[in-house]
Structure 1
Amino acid sequence: MTATRLVPALPSPPRWAVRAAHAAALVTLPSGIWRLLLATGFTAGYTEAGYEAMGFTGRGALYVVGLSMAGELLALLTLGLVRPWGEVLPRWIPLVGGRRPNPRAVTVAAGLGAGALTLGLTQFALWWAFPHPNMTPLGNTIAGFLYLPLVAWGPLLAAVTIDYHRRRRVTGA
């Protein structure tokens, strides 16, 4: 006979945390769509010579498509911090499906991710301070606005991670 240990359910996340998680999943879309346009051959603000120099064709196109997809998938993981599928992993995931993730591992991974994103993406707030000779003036402005939402990704993830940690700590789960 096997004894089943009941784990208390997590308190529901506050509305602000749910909104922040959704916002984190959305901030990668503008720059991702812009990169997808580059991969399809649209110069998207680059001069013709600049577009050729950047190598957005062939393997370069695969790279920018992969970067866009990876960024969005990582951003979508933030939703797991406020959704039931983040409490028990979906069964279709090989080896770990149906199990509860280790809350400490989730908190550490999300915290490190938030720190890395904040450090790595803050530079986009200064987009206009540096010249981009391969871009047209209008393209430079548009690209700057499309990349600007990425600055919020790290802080949004940090806020949702702190909420996740607090809710886990309350239940001891």
Structure 2
Amino acid sequence: MSSPDLLPRRPGDRPGDRPGTGADADGRRRPAGRWSRRTLAAGTVLAAAAALVGLAALTGLWPAALLDPGAAWLAGAASPRAAVVVQTVAALVGTGGGIAALAGALPRRAGAVLATAELAVFGILLQGTATLAVLGYLVAMALPAAVVVVLVQVVRRYPTARWAVGVPALALLAAGAVAAREPLAALAAHLGGALAAQAGRLVTVLLVLGVGTAWAGVLAATLAGTPALDRATAWVVRHRVPITVVAACGPLPYALVRLTWLTPWPLLGHEALDLPTRIWGLTLSGGAWLGVVLTLGLVRPWGEVFPRWVPRLAGRPVPVAAAAVPGGLVAAAVTFAAVPMLLLLPDDGLVPVLVSAVVFPCWLWGPALALAVWGYVGHRTFSGARAPGRMAP
């Protein structure tokens, strides 16, 4: 590259660029300064927050069970305190390096090394099975409200489906809520108490995930515009439909297993499940099904243009970040959890190992989802894709 800076100081041409192209003298594209700076700023801010949390944990101001073996692989391999120390040091390094890069004082190669190191610490050493569990539980808890909002919009926007789908589904949900009000209240009380008791741990797990994801984005932005990455992007865009279908199948085994909790033969559970637990299993399954649908949206028209039932945004192009950021976050969470999940596979025979690897296919689902998001971004950004009436960002 013609400049040693990790990021251009402002958009536009620089010395060494071919006039008006935004490319280096050798013809390679630079990453968009706006996207690069935002990603780097996010990684820097999140790293600073992680450093503060780590320092608070070391001084006893944060929950003692900050990074237990379920939340961080390093906590089990060494000790929780060692994990907190590594988190704090890495976060301080990331904060300082990020500030230097934003000021234009960090060479691009050094920035790539820094991003790789931050990704290794926050994406591998400090990851565990708790990351995926936390995201799954949060999505499941938000699912009922999301379903109600969608059904209300169906009633408002689709006259044909209003009486065939919207009104009957809302009436069925209302009747079910009344009939099962006691188990639903017990479930809500249990979940609320668990959230309150584990608030510090949840914040830490999500913060570590955010830092790892942000620095993965910084690394991608640093490498953007190189011939190798351009060729890889072109290949991913060409094959993005089958890749996305594979990614959409990732949560299916879990979704189907949780549905068995409504039968007398629940899998991954005991037969004496009470009604609140069975309802929770249905909700977890619904969250997985939502993941299937949203993943397929990466290759469907409504993934590029908001459909009619979306309030205030119907017909407008979907911002690339609106799909790429949450999709990338989930892809990072699943990929980061792949190694801890493989380490937890049962060692009592081949069949249990295969069952666990199929029910929780993080080893396939995470990379496939990351490639699907990559293909979506490449298609929208570099392929000249257009939404009706407006050019995609």
Who is 1:17 aligned against?
Answer: 240
Structure 1: which 5+ runs fail to align? 1-12, 132-136
Mapped contact 1:45–1:139 kept (Cα < 8 A)? no
Mapped contact 2:257–2:268 kept (Cα < 8 A)? no
**Aligned counterparts, 1:26-37, within 5 A:** 26-37=249-260
Q: How big is each residue's C-alpha offset from its partner over 1:19-69, in whole Å with a ceiling of 9 and x where there is no partner?
A: 1111122222222212211232214365xxx444xxx33111111111111
Which of 108, 111, 116 does residue 328 from structure 2 map onto?
111
Q: How big is each residue's C-alpha offset from its partner over 1:83-106, in whole Å with a ceiling of 9 and x where there is no partner?
A: 211110111223332221111232
Q: Which has the higher contact order (CA 8 A, sep 6+)?
A: 1
The two structures have a TM-score, normalised by structure 2, of 0.34
Which of 277, 282, 285 does residue 65 from structure 1 map onto?
282
**Aligned counterparts, 1:48-127, within 5 A:** 50-52=270-272, 56-127=273-344
Structure 1 169/35 Cα, relative in aligned 2: closer, same or farther at 3 Å? same
Structure 1 57/121 Cα, relative in aligned 2: closer, same or farther at 3 Å? farther
Structure 2: which 5+ runs fail to align? 1-235, 385-391
Computing the radius of gyration over CA atoms, which structure comes out larger, 1 or 2?
A: 2
Q: 2:305 corresponds to which letter in structure 1?
A: V
The CA distance in 1 between the partners of 2:373 and 2:252, in whole Å, is 21
The CA distance in 2 between the partners of 1:139 and 1:58, in whole Å, is 30
Identity of aligned residues (%): 31
The CA distance in 1 between the partners of 2:331 and 2:268, in whole Å, is 30
Which of 380, 385, 392 does residue 168 from structure 1 map onto?
380
1:155 CA displacement: 1.1
1:145 CA displacement: 4.5
CA RMSD of aligned residues (A): 3.0
1:18 CA displacement: 0.5
How many equivalent residue pairs?
151
**Aligned counterparts, 1:137-148, within 5 A:** 140=352, 143-148=355-360
3-state SS, counterpart of residue 128 of structure 1: coil
1:140 CA displacement: 4.4
The CA distance in 2 between the partners of 1:164 and 1:42, in whole Å, is 40
Q: How big is each residue's C-alpha offset from its partner over 1:135-158, in whole Å with a ceiling of 9 and x where there is no partner?
A: xx8994574144143432221111
The two structures have a TM-score, normalised by structure 1, of 0.71
The CA distance in 1 between the partners of 2:238 and 2:379, in whole Å, is 13
